Structure 1
Amino acid sequence: MKTRLKYICLSAVAGLTFSFSSCSDFMDLTPEDQYDEATVWADADLTKSVVTDVYSYVCDIAQEVNPEAWTDDGFFTHVYGCRDINEATVSPSNLAAYDRDDCPFRWSKQFKAIYRANLVLENIDNVPQKTGVDLNVLKGETYFLRAYIYTELLRGFGGVPIVDHVYSIEEASEMELPRSNVADVMDFILKDIEQAVSLLPEQQTGANLGRATRGAAKALKARLLLHIASPLFADRSVNTLACNQYTGDRQALYQKALDAAKEVINDGNYSLIDCNAGTIKDIAEKFHNIIITNNDETIWSKQYVNKDKDADNWVRNRVALLHGPNGYHNWAGTAPTHDLVMAFETEDGKIPNTLLKAGEETTVNPYTNREPRFYATIGYDGAEWGRPRASDGAVFDATPLGNLQFGYYELSSGGAEVNAIQSVDDENNAIKKQQFNGMVGVDSRMSNIENWNGTYTGYLEKKLIDGTVSATEHNFQICPMPYIRLAEMYLIAAEACIELNKLDEAAIYLDALRGRIGRPDTRATLAVRGQAFNQNNLREFLRHERRVELTYEHSRYYDVRRWMIAPETSSKKLTGITIVGRLKPGKTATLPYVHDEDVYNYTWTVLNLNYIEKRKWDNKMYFAPIKLEETLRNPALEQNPGFK
């Protein structure tokens, strides 16, 4: 007789979409929080708790390390294991940040989720009906979650083993399950999505807000199909492992991706939000609210409740604490690179062509006359943060809304000397020091407030943060975090159209996205940039739009790989910015500090951060390594190329 687990770990949070207590390993024989299996499957409420617990394995966007930190868009201030990824030194025995819970495709965590989903699917048909619990919907949610988690695994590793049922302890101990081809994994996911669509409701409301819907399942289908249609899976030069190669008709996949995206776009449950207003600032604020609120553009998002400091981190939206400014006692987290900052277009639709290389400087404010998404996404020196700064010994007192202060400011001609401004001006990491009389920004790494939490790059991520909330280890914002937005469906439709050479149709989807934030249309913007309206230029245009529209939404890491542009993007020098403000003749600094070009002469200098992280690309990094323990446990698992 084969033995199965007889106890199930459940979280005790009722009515919350995501709860985060779980067994450490599904093979544990004596889990701490035990419910007899027979009891669980005899009670619809307990069954719902198991499904709710599966949600907890979906990677939380509101965490300290965002995958943007593994791309040209971000740098993780505290390094942790991110340097190993960016310097291509990870290995099966050193997964570094790939082995963190905020990695969306962490192998051990995601296969535990799959186990639990399989457990539900094998038992839910025998659970007695109960008023107030729709078992068919729960079943649909479970199919969706298994599909979502398998999609993350596929995007991270390529082909992975398909585990579609619960194994006994004896079976698991003897199991040698090989990796399936990406096409087979894709088909498996699509079948789960089909099941989910047939069972899920159009909307979830009230206490169920944030649980899966039919639209979320359809949107996941579009995302998956576009991913596998991409160049990486057709490549045979660097993608040399058979299970990671797609041999089918890629044009057919692009068409299917287009059809799936259009189905969501035409769904009456969602619509793009018109952000147009009288000023760029107002447009930016409306766009920012799309990200941090539940609205008509949200297809699937994570919901939170505000928990005290002793609550589990995974039920709290900690992103403001984790990514905010040290001058507010926050931790700087995954900070934007200067490269990302200069990717946002100017107000007239051009891409900045100055202040791009380390050592280059300007006295013209690079943050003026930029597009709305820039102001909604980037926290830069002088930017309004959204709430007053506490009076706690900061170098500068509070302004009405609070202004970020990353630079070095001259307060008088006889100001006290401070530490040297440091920059790196060559490949040998020689430190260029400049003595400066004045005061340092309260949000800088030379601040008197928790300078170890200051940003190296001179920027902070603003997009996911509700700046009006005083984020501390005792208080957290409760705004939702988006997993799938309607904007992504427009971008998927546009990309598929471009690859199908339906350029006019592609422009329609791009123009809809750009028009809702007051941007010039695609043709006009290409003309301003001196580019013809053709497939190659439109492809690059689309890729740029994805970068700035979906920043910090777990997109860039996968995009640069599937497009096979990572050798370029991931070999760029890591750069930041240094800002120096010197008093103009006859002017006097006043407090509270506000960025004021009538009072100061400013100089912005691109800072080479190569001494912190020497980024380089290695083709092995197209797919993540599988942990050594997994390949030792299961010899049938073939390691991804380039890893030993």
Structure 2
Amino acid sequence: TLGWVDNTWDYKQMYNRIRACNTVVERIVGGDNSLSSKVLKDQLLGEAYFLRAYFYQQMLRFYGGVPIITKTYALSDDFNVKRNTYEECINFIIKDCDQASTLLTGKTLDKGRTTALACLALKSRVLIYAASDLHERSKLTAKIISIGAQKLDFLSYASGNQNDRYKLAQTAAKAVMDLGSGYKLGLSAPVSVAEGSNNYKSIAMGGASKAPNIDASAASELIFARYFIIQNNIKHAQQNGPNGYHNWAGNTPIGLLVDDYDMADGTKFSWTNPAQKAAPYQNRDPRFYATILYDGAGWKPRDKVSGNVDPANQIQTGIYDLMDGSNKIDFKGLDTRASSIENWNGSWTGYYYHKFIDTDPNIVDATMSQNVPWPFFRYTEAVFNYIEASIELGELTNAKSWLNKIRFRAGMGAITTTDQAELRNIYRHERRIEMAYEEQRYHDTRRWLIAEETLGRKVTYIKVTGKFKAGKTMSAPYHYDASVYDYTYNSVIENAQENRSWDNKLYFRPFSRDEVNKNHLLEQNPGY
């Protein structure tokens, strides 16, 4: 339904799409159309309300309150419009969601089109955001001191009770859970590590992969997604895969994300633990192996695109001893930025992205498209929203029960804590891992007011070296072998490519100067 809309953070693009939605609403409600079918009219009107709500939601979570526009403008109209308050925007979005849900209830639609369940999922997201600390005035002002009273109205609630907002969020999330089904969330104990990893891969594939061990029924997890067909020639894997396969490494995991995956027994990974530092990719959360490509990880047949240089088909992001005749050389891995295949397009972090790349070995990522759908909303997000609201309302037993269902599906053990603060932190960590690469973490850390200690951390990358053990050697082609090599792994702080820092004004994005110049009543966010 979203077509070619990308950059859904972009203020101008969102209002272009909102104008299109307003056009549909005006023409259907006003009778300026040639449609005779009420069923079709209701469907199109419901979709327009949903999309308008979605686009406003996107702007709201980046900027706070924005001007609510419900009509199409003519050239003679006054384009200077004041921002609406945060609360007004929330109420408007919820109204559109409710209208859309009513119009779409009972409609049988093609996948990829808006459904009543998608409307409820959007409502659930909007209400859990609205209940969050970022929009609770006293907590926001404790973080960002210099905000005038009027600007506070754009960013937070002027009145009301945060607990009441959590109750609304809990109810909205439960409505999604009751109407939807999800995938394997009825377990009473953890599955095996292998099954947990396959469950997670199957969810990411959304029913579109023919790879071994992928369960097509995991498509039941999707509520609203963007689907692709061969004719679109979308090469998502080429854009994000390893350069040693002639791909572009567009999104590469940073070390901070990799390090946040727990050990399989539920304990924290730590570089200060000698055993974990010596073998950092062993015995991790099963979702790690379905999300991250790391040095030594098995991957697709490399000979289909790069020749017979890697019969083992393993990711190579390190520097290794290797024999060249009688000489020992430093061999730069095939997926590094010094690769003999491509010495560009490689990862700066030593890791590659796995999650939404089709694992079907018959798909050559550099030359072929894939059809893995993009999940705008999936069932587990609503479950997380329910868990979060339950924790904040003190309903810890209920929250733990649902949190453990998500963990059991992934092959992780039960959470047993009875402490609210500890459970809150566990939940936030679990949401980070489960929803990785789904446009959640950036917004979550801001709405929880913890961005300074999360987004504000220095980026890290991994430096991998392999040295021959005493009496051992290997000639080309190289492959990972812990019986031949002593591998060392060093986590390094990155300052050259991306020197991160945090400023509290970043809790809200600035409006561009062009937008402020075009609309003199558009008040800028604090700090800009």
User: 2-side partners of 1:389 and 1:117: how far apart?
Assistant: 48
Count of aligned positions: 502
- Indicate whether 1:461 and 2:353 are aligned: yes
Q: Deviations over 1:19-68 (max 9, x none)?
A: 33xxxxxxxxxxxxxxxxxxxxxxxxxxxxxxxxxxxx3x4xxxxxxxxx
User: 2-side partners of 1:553 and 1:495: how far apart?
Assistant: 18
The equivalent of 1:443 in structure 2 is: 335
Pick one of 407, 410, 416 that aligns with 2:318: 407
Pick one of 156, 162, 168 that aligns with 1:256: 168
Q: State the Cα distance separating 1:501 from its structure 2 match.
A: 1.0
- Point out where structure 1 has 5 or more consecutive residues left out of the alignment: 1-16, 21-56, 60-100, 308-314, 418-436, 524-531
Q: Where in structure 1 do 4 or more consecutive aligned residues deviate above 6 Å?
A: 274-278
Q: State the Cα distance separating 1:190 from its structure 2 match.
A: 0.4
The equivalent of 1:193 in structure 2 is: 97
- Indicate whether 1:333 and 2:257 are aligned: no
Give the counterpart letter for 1:486 in structure 2: Y
TM value normalised by structure 2 = 0.90
User: 2-side partners of 1:281 and 1:496: how far apart?
Assistant: 31
User: 2-side partners of 1:519 and 1:278: how far apart?
Assistant: 8
- Indicate whether 1:317 and 2:230 are aligned: no
Q: State the Cα distance separating 1:569 from its structure 2 match.
A: 1.3
Identical pairs, percent: 36
Give the counterpart letter for 1:522 in structure 2: I
The equivalent of 2:486 in structure 1 is: 601
Give the counterpart letter for 2:174 in structure 1: K
Q: Deviations over 1:461-504 (max 9, x none)?
A: 111111332122x4211111111111111111111011111111
Answer whether contact 2:236 2:357 (CA < 8 A) is retained: yes
User: 1-side partners of 2:233 and 2:38: how far apart?
Assistant: 27
User: 2-side partners of 1:219 and 1:547: how far apart?
Assistant: 19
User: 2-side partners of 1:178 and 1:455: how far apart?
Assistant: 44
Q: State the Cα distance separating 1:263 from its structure 2 match.
A: 1.2
Answer whether contact 1:302 1:480 (CA < 8 A) is retained: yes
The equivalent of 2:130 in structure 1 is: 228
User: 2-side partners of 1:589 and 1:277: how far apart?
Assistant: 40
Pick one of 388, 409, 416 that aligns with 1:516: 409
SS of 2:76's equivalent in the other structure is helix
After superposition, the Cα gap between the structure-2 partners of 1:416 and 1:615, relative to the gap in structure 1 and judged at 3 Å, is farther
- Indicate whether 1:370 and 2:288 are aligned: no
Answer whether contact 1:390 1:398 (CA < 8 A) is retained: no
- Indicate whether 1:177 and 2:81 are aligned: yes
User: 2-side partners of 1:540 and 1:110: how far apart?
Assistant: 33
- Point out where structure 2 has 5 or more consecutive residues left out of the alignment: 208-218
Give the counterpart letter for 1:632 in structure 2: N
Q: State the Cα distance separating 1:393 from its structure 2 match.
A: 5.6
After superposition, the Cα gap between the structure-2 partners of 1:641 and 1:560, relative to the gap in structure 1 and judged at 3 Å, is same
The equivalent of 1:427 in structure 2 is: none
SS of 2:237's equivalent in the other structure is helix
- Indicate whether 1:113 and 2:10 are aligned: no
User: 1-side partners of 2:203 and 2:27: how far apart?
Assistant: 39
User: 1-side partners of 2:73 and 2:511: how far apart?
Assistant: 21
User: 1-side partners of 2:487 and 2:404: how far apart?
Assistant: 36
Answer whether contact 1:292 1:481 (CA < 8 A) is retained: no
The equivalent of 1:390 in structure 2 is: 304
SS of 1:601's equivalent in the other structure is strand
Q: Which has the higher helix share?
A: 2
User: 1-side partners of 2:471 and 2:321: how far apart?
Assistant: 13
Give the counterpart letter for 2:103 in structure 1: L
User: 1-side partners of 2:446 and 2:261: how far apart?
Assistant: 21
Matches within 5 A, 1:451-530: 451-468=343-360, 469-472=363-366, 474-523=367-416
Give the counterpart letter for 1:452 in structure 2: W
User: 1-side partners of 2:279 and 2:351: how far apart?
Assistant: 15
User: 2-side partners of 1:364 and 1:301: how far apart?
Assistant: 40
- Indicate whether 1:246 and 2:157 are aligned: yes
Q: State the Cα distance separating 1:191 from its structure 2 match.
A: 0.5
The equivalent of 2:211 in structure 1 is: none
Answer whether contact 1:202 1:215 (CA < 8 A) is retained: no
SS of 2:278's equivalent in the other structure is coil
Deviates more, 1:615-624 or 1:235-244: 235-244
Q: State the Cα distance separating 1:408 from its structure 2 match.
A: 1.1
After superposition, the Cα gap between the structure-2 partners of 1:120 and 1:407, relative to the gap in structure 1 and judged at 3 Å, is same
Answer whether contact 1:577 1:607 (CA < 8 A) is retained: yes
Q: State the Cα distance separating 1:587 from its structure 2 match.
A: 2.5
- Indicate whether 1:211 and 2:113 are aligned: yes
TM value normalised by structure 1 = 0.74
User: 1-side partners of 2:374 and 2:108: how far apart?
Assistant: 16
User: 2-side partners of 1:415 and 1:124: how far apart?
Assistant: 79
After superposition, the Cα gap between the structure-2 partners of 1:271 and 1:478, relative to the gap in structure 1 and judged at 3 Å, is closer
Give the counterpart letter for 1:159 in structure 2: G
SS of 2:377's equivalent in the other structure is strand
